[in-house]
Structure 1
Amino acid sequence: MTVLSADGTLLCGDEHRSGVLLDPAHPLNGIDFVEFRREPASRFILDVTFLKVPPVLSVSNFTVSGGIRIVDIKVTAVETVAGDPLRRRVLVDREGDFSPYVLDVEHPTMDLERNQAVFSFKAACPSEFDCRPVSDCPDPQRVEPALDYLAKDYQSFRRLMVDLIAERNPDWQERLPADLGMTLVELLAYAADYLSYYQDAGPGTESYLDTCRHRISAARHARLIDYAMGQGRAARSFVHFEGGSGANGVIPAATKVTSMVATPLVGAVAPPDIVIPAAADFDGDPALTETVVFETKADTRVIELHNELRIHTWGDTLCCLSKDSREIFLYRDTAGTAIRPDLRAGEFVLIEEVVSPVTGLPADADPARRQVLRIDHVQATEDAAFTSALTGGLLTPRTNPADPALPLLRVAFAVGEMLAFAPRISAETVDHLEIAPVTVARGNIAAVDHGRSITRDSLKNEIRLPDMGAGRWPLPDLALPDAPLSHLPDPAIGLDIFFPSEPVAERWLPVPNLLDSQSFDQHFVVETDNRGVTSLRFGDDQYGRRPYDAERVVARYRIGNGRSGNAGWGTLVHLVDPGVVVIPPVTRVWQPLPAAGGEIPETIEQVRQIAPEAFRAVQFRAVTERDWEEMALRHPDVAAAKASFRWTGSWHTVFIAIHPVDPANLKRLPGGGVELQPLFAQRMKAFLTRFKLAGYDLDIRAAIYVPLEIDIRLCVGDGHFRGDVLVEVGRVLSNRTYGDGTTGFFFPLRFGFGAAVYLSQLYAAVVAVEGVNSVEVTTFKRYWDPPRGELDKGAVLMTSFEIPRLDNDRNLAENGVLRLTAVGGL
């Protein structure tokens, strides 16, 4: 609203008259606006801006009127402004009060309606009130219809609008559904029905975990108590690529492998071979609509040499690998010549039983005796007892030093990779005929997971961006056209977003939530609704960046999730040519293990039941010693833990002793001592620091392992060989784990901190061995200490940070000694 009269009686919303006067041909001029400013040298200036270049003006042409406390303000000078011909600097003798003043310009060229301007001297005194004039000409009040606020569904909204039409426009009598007006009414009623539902659902049901009916609402409620609603997980497995003649190349990551395709593809006359052409259309080809699709997780080398590898037994027969084996030695039999494989760290090796150890027939091989292990490191070596020449697949003794030795590759498994069974390498039939090899190793193994990669581009209308005009896209979410989205376990998606001012696309990545995102982080959150439709929620420039003015989006993501990917072994038989590179020849695609790990998304009811209990049950701070022990035991590599508070001079220190699951995480020291491996200790300290309270220090160390010394005298019963009984007793009292799942009495994970070794338990374990008539324990004590009455007490006691140990390794007596003697028997 603009005041156009000095007395404030005329107010108009638009100044068309100024536009008329701005015409260069028009003879009249006028004032555009007046500004007051105060200069340091006590100069009070009114900057007067005219609509057009004014004529020559003097002090006599200007008059200042108005004011309440300060009146009769005089104009003392008029100056031109260099570089601004429309402006004149009018100097006055003093500064007025806060009331309105009027500047009047008297000149023949000045318009009578634009020769005055209302201004104020309070420009340097900001006010909290709006300076906009209040109009005395309000708009006429509209007659509002009588609305029925009980209208809540489609029919009632439609009836309400039809009644309103009849009231406002009695001449409109059309009621046919095909009429354009009625179509608009029904569309508005449909939209109102949805809005009414969300209006009721928002505050009424979706605001509470106990009543919400949408997965997205349940996931957000659970996030408030640090519980992540499970969105499912894609299944995982392995495939073996059998390389063809001369194969030596790489199959790239994200290459598809599929289940059997039994019908011809579009344009083909026969079902596809092992390799499906790169042009196969998984979206539109009926032959591919029902296939199970997995994709390789990393680049996989395929070499013919690695199709089948022999496990070296050093010339012995009737051999098997212990479950404790951490390494194997491999070679390849190539037309009677042994060749060293080219396996590398980080790759996988398949241990597979290929024939039955009983019948020697491939059809009787146990499919459960297969396992894929990751390689930690390899080492080229050889066996000088045999040559590289093989006779009928059998090793040839190296009688001539000039003959090349048998080349081998020592393959060490990664930490945490352990055999689930004891593979038989060679065996013999009931007729004493050797069966070899029973178990082989294979390379060319690719890890795969369920799902198919898809690329959607908004430039091709494969993704619909909201049309906000001029290519702008400021909305906070974006819906994906395919479902369900794969979770591996994180959402398998990435966005390339193009902006007008950027020459290349920006990569945006998914995060669990935006609360940890900064204002410029290119993050988004993946949310899935009840129908399985996936949408992406972006930030607001405070928690995550908002993709404002995006003109193109390219989404790359995977679809395929849940239990549908838990396919049995042998399901995946085809390889899809990636097309971007030339792949090595592949004669067979084989899935040795069943796919596993596919999980369906959690239901809302499961979240209601689990999330509150998880919030109550899981503690994320450690206060007492017991708390510290519980926190340490949450780590999967910890078998036992013991904590203690100690005053270290200036503050308390929490000392935590760790007993690891894997003995490889312990570093042996001279004299029988141990300490944690440095990297393992760092991981443990980083894991436990998150639970630490301020004012405490943290010290991570290994347990104190106490070696034992035990002498046992056995009486063997009639009909039993003393040697066999001694072997079995040694097995029962060992520290090992065996292929049948049993463990020895002194298995490291059997005893925890402060656990005593009781004589009665030792007697019970030995007497249970078949052939033992009686047992006498003659020595029962700590290895380094003299007897302190342990036999009389019936126990070797331990302090809080001690764990008993008896490895019975003749090379390392300081780790415990067991001596067995026997009388009787045969």
Structure 2
Amino acid sequence: MRSSDLACRQSWRRRHLFQHPRWNGVDFLEVSDEQRYLCVHFFGSIPEGIGVANVRIEGGRRIRDLRVLRVEIDRSGDPDQDDCLRITLDRIGDYSTYRLCFVERVTAQEGAAYRPFPGLDPRYACLDFRFRLDCAADQDCRVQPDCPPAFAPAPEIDYLAKDYASLRQMMLDRMALTMPGWQERHVPDLGVTLVELLAYTADYLSYYQDAVATEAYLDTARQRISVRRHVRLIDYRMHEGCNARAFVTLDTDSDIGPLLLVDCYFITGFAALEAEQGRVLPHELLAKYPPQAYDVFEPVAAGGAEGIRARAAHSTMHFYTWGDTECCLSRGATRASLIDGPQWSDDEAAPDAGRVLDLHAGDVLIFEEVKGATTGAPADADPARRHAVLLTSVTPALDQLFRQPVLEIEWAAGDALPFSLCLSARLPAQYDCARIADITVARGNVVLVDHGRRAPPDPLGPVLVRTELGECACEGSVIETSSVPQPFRPRLKHRALTYRVPFQPSASAQAMLAQDPRQALPDLALAQRQAGAADAGWQARYDLLASGVGERHFVVEMDDERNAHLRFGDGELGRQPAAGAVFDTRYRVGGGAAGNVGRDAITYMVYRPGLIDGAALMVRNPLPAQGGVEPEPLAEVKLFAPGAFRKQRLRAVTAADYAELAQQNASIQRAAADLSWTGSWYEARVAVDPLGVETLVQPLREEIEAALQPYRRIGHDLAVVQARYVPISLTLHICVLAHYTRGEVRARLQQVLGNRQLPNGERGLFHPDRLSFGDGLHLSRIVAAAAGVEGVERVKVLRLQRLDVPDDPLAATPQLDPAIAEGTLALGPTEIAQLDNDPDFPENGALTLILGGGR
């Protein structure tokens, strides 16, 4: 009996041999610790009559011809354990595989031929075993049967054949080799037609392979989606542009609203609309005009507002000058007064009953010059002198002297006037020296809008289903069959999807208009419908790297034709859409630089439900729209992306790192830092120079510390301190021209060399925002600033030194200041010069002016 080379993964025959009434076989054997004894177990009871002559052991590489010394039955004595046949050998074997067989009888005449012991199954009369195991203890030493597939020789492939002609010729050459009897080469032949179809398909696949290889690298990628994914791996956000925003004012003669935001939108005017009645149009009217003729601006839900409300009193509001004339709001102003109703008579008991203004903190006003300051004509008004402000405080007040209700308003510091606004003036002699008022007015009823046209309904889906089969159980059955959703990659029907920055509460009106295109997301809302019921919405994200398993997020990828491709999660990064799901879409198209329309370009309001009765409404945007940006070109992305990660500092190791990270706070002008050894570790001391002030308030200190903590190096302590201000003593001798008064020149010098903002908007030489860390005081700058004052003939610096360094009391005669001799008063890297020239605080710096000449 020879061993079989048959290898099977399932041993069905063993199951039939267990407790079979006629047939038996070897189940397994155990090798004793001494490796001299073998304990053999059978499927049934131990066959009777097995002796030494019936046991045969073959195999071995180094130790061969093992002899059996004794065969006996080893009774277990436990009904739960089987007895075994104990075989004693003359010696132990090596590490190779041996074969134990139970034969009928082994004789010298039979040689290698033998027959199984009577009653034993021929397939299980022998057993392979080892005396020693050469595999590790944590491995399964069982040899798995392997049935390798049949080997098929690979055909010879000409890799130089890449186009249609070469592929067609290669196939014809192959056919001539395999089918020499077929020699037809005419085009109408069916065989030639099949060859050409295969060559065409192969040509397409060859191009596809080349395209995939091209898109695999940033330098060679040509498709926008491929470049976007490549640069995201190096933390670069390629933007798809951004739409523009604008402020629209509503001028009405009666109160309107509230009108739902979803029912209104605004458009730019064009010639054909001039024939229409009014500035409020029904939505159906625009169907007869081409969409390319106008731009659409949708209202933005600013401050949680869901509707538009317009009050007649807010259309034009007048500034109150408290009875004075020839007034103006100076540059940098952040407060003003508005007339709030008519004057009341002395016998009126409740003057507040006549108030007409209903302004609140968070409202936006636009200041607009409506008359020329020198002519009083509306046509001479400067359209550039318009400014939007966000109100932060509204306080009713009363002018008891003139019996006038007043509304005191304040706006954000970020909206401080960039220029002065004339409120009232006196015209020159050619205009009869008349006094005019209301040169500048305030416009209310302001609506924030952004560019983008709403697209028609475009449902997506359904999500297709793929059936997955489980593993096989018993014959003819499957453990589990499941239906799973296929990857869902839909594409929107309409091109040029609008990208916008989601609106966040802003601290100023200017911040409401500002948008970072790299933070812009598609203006696309998805609502999933399943089994006829509306499901929760899905939110757009730039990527799914931070999306959880069940979060309803998706990504929009724009191709080169501005088609929007949607990509959903896979169940690990973002939720995977359910099988059969259908999505309802709501999105807008348009955007980019086309939305940056000029002032007074948005002139119509479109009301979807119809017309608005009882109001003569005028629509306009006093300020131009801004923020519209075109998609980032691929050439710029490939140029800037590889080095962009170096621009963003992600750790603080050196002192310069701490200073650079601290300066990212917009409330400080500059920061400086140094690392000092405390005896046990280093402490990073960050000195801060606040913007516009000289005092570091505690909230700002805590804000900077919290921002620096994530970047702090382990082992560094962190301390944010106020900058060290160095008081300066400056003495100048000024020679005044003969025809100028010394008092007038002194006042001008104190302004130019002061620490305040000048009437023309410039800052004094020692203004806190003009001095920063380590900025030494140069003699030439001081002399140039003083000599530039009208009426100054000559300037001489007599004293320039620090006040925190006392004079030497042992010096016999005053010494010339070193700063004057060197031309510069040097300061340390964490020091800032200070010259407030405040008589109440002389320790903060002093300016002494000695004037001669003049009159």
The two structures have a TM-score, normalised by structure 2, of: 0.70
Which residues of 2 match residues 64-83 of structure 1 at below 5 A? 64-65=24-25, 67=27, 69=29, 70=40, 72-74=42-44
Aligned length: 713
The structural deviation recorded for 1:731 is 2.7
Matched, 1:276 2:281: yes
Contact 2:425/2:436 (CA < 8 Å) preserved in 1? yes
Q: Distance in 2 between matches of 1:96 and 1:376?
A: 99
Contact 1:497/1:508 (CA < 8 Å) preserved in 2? yes
Q: Distance in 2 between matches of 1:319 and 1:223?
A: 55
The structural deviation recorded for 1:451 is 1.8
Matched, 1:529 2:528: no
The structural deviation recorded for 1:259 is 1.0
Q: Distance in 1 between matches of 2:497 and 2:585?
A: 12
For residue 631 of structure 1, give the secondary structure of its aligned residue in structure 2: helix
Identity of aligned residues (%): 32
The C-alpha deviation readout for 1:484-535, integer Å capped at 9, x for no partner, is: 2233232124553537699752433333333333444433333222222222
Matched, 1:803 2:840: no
RMSD: 5.0
Distance 1:707 1:448, change over 3 A: farther
Residue 219 (structure 1) aligns with: 228
Contact 1:245/1:304 (CA < 8 Å) preserved in 2? yes
Q: Distance in 2 between matches of 1:427 and 1:147?
A: 92
Residue 293 (structure 2) aligns with: 290
Residue 409 (structure 1) aligns with: 408
Out of 373, 381, 403, the position equivalent to 1:365 is 381
Out of 792, 812, 817, the position equivalent to 2:817 is 792
Q: Distance in 2 between matches of 1:738 and 1:144?
A: 87
Q: Match for 2:787: what amino acid?
A: V
Which residues of 2 match residues 556-575 of structure 1 at below 5 A? 556-575=586-605
The structural deviation recorded for 1:363 is 1.0
Contact 2:598/2:624 (CA < 8 Å) preserved in 1? yes
Residue 56 (structure 1) aligns with: none
Residue 60 (structure 2) aligns with: none
Residue 607 (structure 2) aligns with: 577
The two structures have a TM-score, normalised by structure 1, of: 0.72
The structural deviation recorded for 1:245 is 0.8
For residue 532 of structure 1, give the secondary structure of its aligned residue in structure 2: coil
Residue 425 (structure 2) aligns with: 427
Q: Match for 2:292: what amino acid?
A: T
For residue 236 of structure 2, give the secondary structure of its aligned residue in structure 1: coil
Distance 1:210 1:546, change over 3 A: same
The C-alpha deviation readout for 1:441-480, integer Å capped at 9, x for no partner, is: 222222222223447553xxx5675675899643153322
Contact 2:463/2:580 (CA < 8 Å) preserved in 1? no
Contact 1:676/1:701 (CA < 8 Å) preserved in 2? no
Out of 740, 746, 755, the position equivalent to 1:735 is 755
* Structure 2 runs not aligned, ≥5 long: 30-39, 47-78, 87-96, 101-122, 129-137, 345-350, 468-481, 501-516, 809-813
Distance 1:590 1:773, change over 3 A: same
Matched, 1:755 2:756: no
Distance 1:256 1:551, change over 3 A: same
Residue 250 (structure 2) aligns with: 241
Matched, 1:675 2:718: no
Q: Distance in 2 between matches of 1:774 and 1:756?
A: 23
Contact 2:499/2:523 (CA < 8 Å) preserved in 1? no
The structural deviation recorded for 1:369 is 1.0
Q: Distance in 2 between matches of 1:294 and 1:534?
A: 21
Q: Distance in 2 between matches of 1:162 and 1:96?
A: 70
Distance 1:273 1:225, change over 3 A: same
Residue 341 (structure 1) aligns with: 357
The C-alpha deviation readout for 1:57-77, integer Å capped at 9, x for no partner, is: xx886865454754543379x
Residue 767 (structure 1) aligns with: 787
For residue 786 of structure 2, give the secondary structure of its aligned residue in structure 1: helix
Residue 197 (structure 1) aligns with: 207
Q: Distance in 1 between matches of 2:782 and 2:636?
A: 47
For residue 612 of structure 1, give the secondary structure of its aligned residue in structure 2: helix
Which residues of 2 match residues 620-699 of structure 1 at below 5 A? 620-648=650-678, 650-663=680-693, 674-678=695-699, 680-699=700-719
Residue 28 (structure 1) aligns with: none
| The structure with more radius of gyration | 2
Q: Match for 2:324: what amino acid?
A: D
Q: Match for 1:771: what amino acid?
A: G
The structural deviation recorded for 1:823 is 5.6
Matched, 1:257 2:266: yes
The structural deviation recorded for 1:811 is 6.9
Q: Distance in 1 between matches of 2:175 and 2:390?
A: 74
For residue 419 of structure 1, give the secondary structure of its aligned residue in structure 2: coil
Distance 1:648 1:290, change over 3 A: farther
For residue 505 of structure 1, give the secondary structure of its aligned residue in structure 2: strand
The C-alpha deviation readout for 1:131-182, integer Å capped at 9, x for no partner, is: 78849xx89x9999987655544676688889999999999999789x9x97
Contact 1:569/1:595 (CA < 8 Å) preserved in 2? yes
The C-alpha deviation readout for 1:330-373, integer Å capped at 9, x for no partner, is: 23456999846322223222121111111111111111111112
Contact 2:267/2:603 (CA < 8 Å) preserved in 1? yes
Contact 1:349/1:374 (CA < 8 Å) preserved in 2? yes
Q: Match for 1:609: what amino acid?
A: L
Out of 479, 484, 499, the position equivalent to 2:491 is 479
Out of 704, 717, 734, the position equivalent to 2:724 is 704
Q: Match for 1:517: what amino acid?
A: S
For residue 607 of structure 1, give the secondary structure of its aligned residue in structure 2: helix
Q: Match for 1:449: what amino acid?
A: D
The structural deviation recorded for 1:618 is 4.7
* Structure 1 runs not aligned, ≥5 long: 1-6, 14-30, 37-45, 49-58, 77-89, 101-116, 389-405, 667-673
Residue 328 (structure 1) aligns with: 336
Contact 1:330/1:408 (CA < 8 Å) preserved in 2? yes
Distance 1:9 1:722, change over 3 A: closer
The structural deviation recorded for 1:587 is 0.7
Contact 1:752/1:803 (CA < 8 Å) preserved in 2? yes
The structural deviation recorded for 1:785 is 7.3
Q: Distance in 2 between matches of 1:207 and 1:64?
A: 63
The C-alpha deviation readout for 1:793-812, integer Å capped at 9, x for no partner, is: 33665443332233456676
Distance 1:73 1:740, change over 3 A: same
The C-alpha deviation readout for 1:252-304, integer Å capped at 9, x for no partner, is: 2795221115447xxxx9647422324567xx764333321222222354222
For residue 367 of structure 2, give the secondary structure of its aligned residue in structure 1: strand
The structural deviation recorded for 1:656 is 0.8
For residue 290 of structure 2, give the secondary structure of its aligned residue in structure 1: helix
The structural deviation recorded for 1:627 is 2.6
Out of 340, 351, 354, the position equivalent to 2:367 is 351
Q: Distance in 1 between matches of 2:15 and 2:627?
A: 74
Q: Match for 1:378: what amino acid?
A: V
The structural deviation recorded for 1:643 is 0.2
Q: Distance in 2 between matches of 1:820 and 1:132?
A: 105
Contact 2:461/2:581 (CA < 8 Å) preserved in 1? no
Comparing 576-585 with 296-305, greater Cα deviation is found at 576-585
The C-alpha deviation readout for 1:380-437, integer Å capped at 9, x for no partner, is: 333333312xxxxxxxxxxxxxxxxx32232232x43332212222222112322212
Q: Distance in 2 between matches of 1:286 and 1:121?
A: 92
Comparing 313-322 with 241-250, greater Cα deviation is found at 241-250
Q: Distance in 1 between matches of 2:463 and 2:168?
A: 31
Which residues of 2 match residues 475-624 of structure 1 at below 5 A? 475=487, 477-488=489-500, 489=517, 490-496=520-526, 498=528, 505-549=535-579, 551-577=581-607, 579=609, 587-624=617-654
Comparing 463-472 with 508-517, greater Cα deviation is found at 463-472
